[in-house]
Amino acid sequence: MRGSTRQQRIKKSVGRTCRNVKVNLSSSLAASHEAEVVGDQLDENLRMKNFHNAWVKIESTIKDVLHNINADVFNEIDGWVHRSFGAICSSGKPDTNKATCSYPIVTDVTAKQIFTALVVMNNMEFVDDLQTFADLGIHLQSHGCHVANLSSVDFSAKNGIGGCLKSLSRQILKGSIDAADISILASWYMEQENSKRPVVVIVEDMDRCSGPVLSDFILMLSEWVIKIPVLLILGVATTLDAPKSILSSKAVQHLSPFKFFLGSPADRLDAIIEAVLVKPCSGFLLGHKVAAFIRNCFLRQDGTLTSLVRAVKMAIVQHFLMEPLSFIVKGLLDEEVTQSGEPTSLSEAWPKQALDLPSCMRILSEPKTEALLGGASKMKELLNLWSCVVLCLYDAGKNQKTTLLDLYYEALDPKLYNLRHTEYLESQPDSQRPSSTHGLHGQSFRNKGSLIGHTVRQVRDLPPAALFQLLEKWVKQTDGVKEMHEKVKELQLQEKFEDDNLKEPANRSRRQTIRNNGNLDKRTKELNQKAAALISCMARDHMQPIECIPFHEIVCFKNVDKLQAALLGDPRRRIQLDLLECHSFLKCSCCSKSCNVPISSMHDTTLMYTLAQEHGDLINLHDWYQSFRSIIFQRPVKERHRSKVSPSPKKRKTTTEPQNITEASVQARFCRAVTELQITGLLRMPSKRRPDYVQRVAFGL
Amino acid sequence: MEDHDIDEEEFEFSRNYFLAKESGKSGKKSARKISEIDLVDEQDLRAEVSNIEPKHEKEIASLINSYKSLYNEWVFELRYGFGLLMYGFGSKKTLLEDFASTALTEYNVIVVNGYLQSINLKQVAMAMAEVLWDQLKMQPRSTSGGLLKDQQPFNSRSMADLIAFLDGPHAAEDECLVCLLVHNIDGPGLRDSETQHLLARIAACSHVRIVASIDHVNAPLLWDKKMVHVEFNWCWHHVPTFAPYMIEGVFHPLILAHGGTSQSVKTASIVLQSLTPNAQSVFKMRRHSDGQDCLYIPLSKDALEKLLLD
């Protein structure tokens, strides 16, 4: 971090609830190693720069992906806004005097209709769509609209209609407005430069708004719609019927709805996985166990795209902090191109320290110097192949709604990769098998339950039209990957040839047609088999996961425990463990041999909590105190032993109670320990119903 | 973690719950009362609580010291937009103040003592806005010049305005940052939903970074997904200290104390001490008809009626 010197000052404010501290920090360098340190500092600066670029790349990639997914629907909404505004304008404008008078113009019921877009999110997890509506607002603003984004916080029952009106005014008028007065908005809108553009109000999460407040807001807008032609966009998380169940019937009557549908959360998830984790993006990759953890969190706990993206960002930060060789090579896996449009050759070598990495020591077979020089390029090549095969499998599995997250997770598994290899080698004649497979006779490693295996088998059952489309996709995916592209093209040509045979000449007899159809079915099946064999071969030969590649530690984050600890605190479990395993943190000699048996030298709160485990859900305070007291007054073990073995009568202790412990101090310690357990929330204090008991809140770990 | 490990854990937890409930019912429930304990006088008890001889002082100091090696990591995480959430048994006040005073040199730090009974978040936001404003004035190429002309004093602005200012695109984000350090963000004065939402909105501002501590096992229940993943963007750090909860425990009544009168007096005196001299001088003392001394604020009838209406 940058070191700087600043003056220290402290400022106290009213109530002493806050204090401002600026601190003096001076940095110093050891003079004797100055040159080395300067060199290290340059490396560190380079790492920081590369890391920052990778971070920015991930963020911008995600932004672009979501932008592309939403582009079509945003354009549709924009088109609807301008068409609706055109329809409003064609019905004429009120003159300025009437428009700014305090009473709204009432003509007829239809004139009070508000053009409303119901944007269906298909997603109960609103957090994933926060950015969507912000982007929609920006998109509409850039296309000439006045836009205000309101959320459910603006429509709370506590703030009432004044809250949302203030927020609306603040955004449209771009100033600090204290009065929630819609006539101010009307006056502003009547100004010539403002009235040429539509006013769009986006209510981001309609389902979470207070129904009565939103209804009142809509009714108010409908009263003023002639003067301020507002176009309403409502984000709907549940169903299209949500407005009817949330809003009053009177408010619903004033809505003239149009429906728009955002892309499904599954599509967005797959698009992000593809762009950030499967395809080369930032030079940062996840290990199999980390991918498994993120997948589990998504499927079993959180279920939001936002948390998944956050996990990836946390992983990259931790990778930078934990792996000193990470980000040392610039632009490892992204598609850098020269001005002429050709990809640059990767000339950067791995640093020498990379030879100490476990993957290098274990896997490397070639000379080390060569490995260092060519390592980055080789890794890039292998990862491109891996990425290509995963996307081909994804294309194959789309009909069965296979998610890329599941495929990605499985494709990262080094064990499955080795099993595929072993299975293939098993099927070869003995002479062609390497020695490592000897001794595996007769064992079948066909992983029938795996998703990849299932996807491959599905290819066999594809109808001709679907197979044709799949091969077209594979041709595009494998473009530039010569190891696969030629084989895919060859198969595609065969498929086209068979397809041409489908066109029967007019002069063929019926018997010939039937015979031809039978042959055709057989040939189609053969094609399916070949396609399945091709993808299976690609998976076996080219889908080498990152953890099987030398030097992978530089680019691949594998520390799932650290990531889990940072993302999911689990204080309920951890605070209890802190109390029960106090010694493992304090490492004191007095408690080292207690083995969780209560002893007097233990931390008081730990002792109390250990004693509490012996009770049920209700702890009698009297008994608890007596247990605590008896432990406190117990002589330490060392003293008891000393008194037994000491030969000298002078040294033998005769007192049964330790010195300096009074009844008051025991009671004080008991009180403080109970207070500390109360602060942690592990106990519920006595109530009028049970004044002599406390209640345990947490049970077990 | 494998799927079957997760299932095992959840099963074990619920099994322990039912076992604890059963053992509570099956055995003969003890009918002993607190009053059967030979309790010492309340004043003596309170004096003893203040003078408890510390145990494991060296080990606790060593443990807190060991966390210093993590300071750089924490600063790095803050820089990249994560909020730091410290948890674990023991008071983390000393640790966090040491972290703020030695490692957060790029930031101005505002400290909020969440263990107090009531916190005025508006004051906190004002202090943050003032500090940010001071920083912006020192920036040569910021866009703050345009804002100077229309600048209302911060104490007259609404909370929404203050948040808008803290979130504004005044300068490059990493040039002007205010760090909000909240001790016990799960404390009694901050636990309500509205306060947590407000804190989350402040934490989400582009010029704000947050460092907070929690002690309650159920603290995560305070936040919804938007707050956890987007606004606070918590990065959890397990930093048990086993340091005593000296100041955090002040407002909790002692379990063995008789009644609550001493605690009420202590609480009242702490609240009074936290006021400025001018505010303290508003209070007068007189004897109530029941013989008890009490504090009161003299107000005219009109002023009292106006206060009640407001």
Chain A CB within 8 Å of residue B237 CB: yes
A228, A181 contact by CB (below 8 A): no
Using the Cα atoms of residue B80, residue B83, residue B89 and residue B91 in order, give the sign of their dihedral. positive
- Give the pLDDT band of residue B310 (cuts 50, 70, 90): low
Chain A CB within 8 Å of residue B258 CB: no
By CA distance, what is B29's nearest residue in A? A620
Contact between chains at A664 and B197 (C-beta distance less than 8 A)? no
pLDDT of residue B29: 66
- Counted residue by residue, chain A has a size of 701
pLDDT of residue A347: 52
Lowest-pLDDT choice from A183-192, B143-152, B213-222: B143-152
pTM for the model stands at 0.82
- Of A659, A385, A321, the C-alpha closest to A549 is A385
Chain B CB within 8 Å of residue A157 CB: no
What residue has token string 């309650």?
Answer: B216
Which positions ≥6 away from A501 have C-beta within 8 Å?
A516, A520, A523
* Chain B residues within an 8 Å CB radius of A299: none
The alpha carbon of B233 is separated from its chain's Cα centroid by a whole number of angstroms, namely 18
Query: What are the helix (H) ranges across B27-92?
Result: 42-50, 57-66, 71-79
By CA distance, what is B250's nearest residue in A? A675
Mean pLDDT of B67-77: 95
Lowest-pLDDT choice from A389-403, B38-52, B119-133: B38-52
Mean pLDDT of B45-71: 91
DSSP, res A349: P
Of the candidates B79, B100, B248, the beta carbon closest to that of A679 is on: B248
pLDDT of residue A601: 87
Contact between chains at A25 and B22 (C-beta distance less than 8 A)? no
Domains of chain B, earliest start first = 57-136+158-238 (3.40.50.300), 261-307 (no CATH)
Tell me how far apart the alpha carbons of residues A606 and A598 are, in angstroms, rounded to a whole number. 9
Most confident range, picked from A129-133, A279-283, B89-93, B175-179: B89-93
Using the Cα atoms of residue A216, residue A222, residue A227 and residue A230 in order, give the sign of their dihedral. positive
Which positions ≥6 away from B297 have C-beta within 8 Å?
B282, B283, B284
Tell me how far apart the alpha carbons of residues B91 and B247 are, in angstroms, rounded to a whole number. 9
pLDDT of residue B173: 54
* Chain B residues within an 8 Å CB radius of A676: 244-245, 249
Contact between chains at B109 and A21 (C-beta distance less than 8 A)? yes
Contact between chains at B52 and A575 (C-beta distance less than 8 A)? no
Distances (CA, A) of A54 to A57, A84, A334, A629: 5, 43, 9, 59
Q: Which of B105, B161, B193 should be substituted to probe chain A, the one whose Cβ sees the most A Cβ atoms within 10 Å?
A: B105
Chain B CB within 8 Å of residue A620 CB: yes
Using the Cα atoms of residue B220, residue B222, residue B225 and residue B227 in order, give the sign of their dihedral. negative
| Residue B86 or residue B286, greater confidence | B86
The alpha carbon of B37 is separated from its chain's Cα centroid by a whole number of angstroms, namely 35
- Give the pLDDT band of residue B8 (cuts 50, 70, 90): low
What residue has token string 């599941």?
Answer: A406
pLDDT of residue A572: 92
Chain B CB within 8 Å of residue A663 CB: yes
Chain A CB within 8 Å of residue B231 CB: no
Q: Which two tokens stand for residue A523?
A: 């040939």
A314, A282 contact by CB (below 8 A): no
Contact between chains at A616 and B22 (C-beta distance less than 8 A)? yes
Closest Cα in chain B, distance from residue A418 (Å): 20
User: Could you give the 3-state DSSP secondary structure of residue A615?
Assistant: coil
Tell me which amino acid residue A217 is: F
| Residue A138 or residue B304, greater confidence | A138
Parallel, antiparallel or unpaired: strands A114-120 and A230-236: parallel
Of the candidates B36, B79, B108, the beta carbon closest to that of A622 is on: B36
Closest Cα in chain B, distance from residue A313 (Å): 9
Closest Cα in chain B, distance from residue A611 (Å): 14
pLDDT of residue A440: 37
By CA distance, what is A22's nearest residue in B? B108
* Chain A residues within an 8 Å CB radius of B25: 616
Chain A CB within 8 Å of residue B105 CB: yes
pLDDT of residue B196: 96
Q: Which of B1, B9, B56 should be substituted to probe chain A, the one whose Cβ sees the most A Cβ atoms within 10 Å?
A: B56
pLDDT of residue A25: 28
The alpha carbon of A421 is separated from its chain's Cα centroid by a whole number of angstroms, namely 32
Lowest-pLDDT choice from A180-189, A360-369, B103-112, B248-257: A360-369
**In A288-432, where do the E strands start and end?**
none
- Of A552, A541, A544, A547, the C-alpha closest to A371 is A552
Chain A CB within 8 Å of residue B147 CB: no
Closest Cα in chain B, distance from residue A563 (Å): 10
Return the CA Rg of chain A: 35
Q: Which two tokens stand for residue B307?
A: 């206060």
Q: How many CA atoms lie within 13 A of A317 on its CB side?
A: 22
Which residue positions in chain A have pLDDT lower than 70? Answer: 1-39, 42, 92-111, 175-179, 331-348, 362-366, 370, 424-449, 499, 501-520, 593-596, 635-659, 700-701
Contact between chains at A588 and B59 (C-beta distance less than 8 A)? yes
Tell me how far apart the alpha carbons of residues A18 and A12 are, in angstroms, rounded to a whole number. 7
Distances (CA, A) of A582 to A666, B95, B240: 21, 18, 9
Tell me how far apart the alpha carbons of residues A566 and B158 are, in angstroms, rounded to a whole number. 35
Which positions ≥6 away from B23 have C-beta within 8 Å?
A615, A616
pLDDT of residue B135: 87
Chain B CB within 8 Å of residue A586 CB: yes
Of the candidates B15, B218, B249, the beta carbon closest to that of A672 is on: B249
B104-130: string of b/e by CB count within 10 Å (b at 16+)? bbbbbbbbbbbbbeebebebbbbbbbb
pLDDT of residue B10: 59
By CA distance, what is B131's nearest residue in A? A20
Q: Which two tokens stand for residue B118?
A: 């009531």
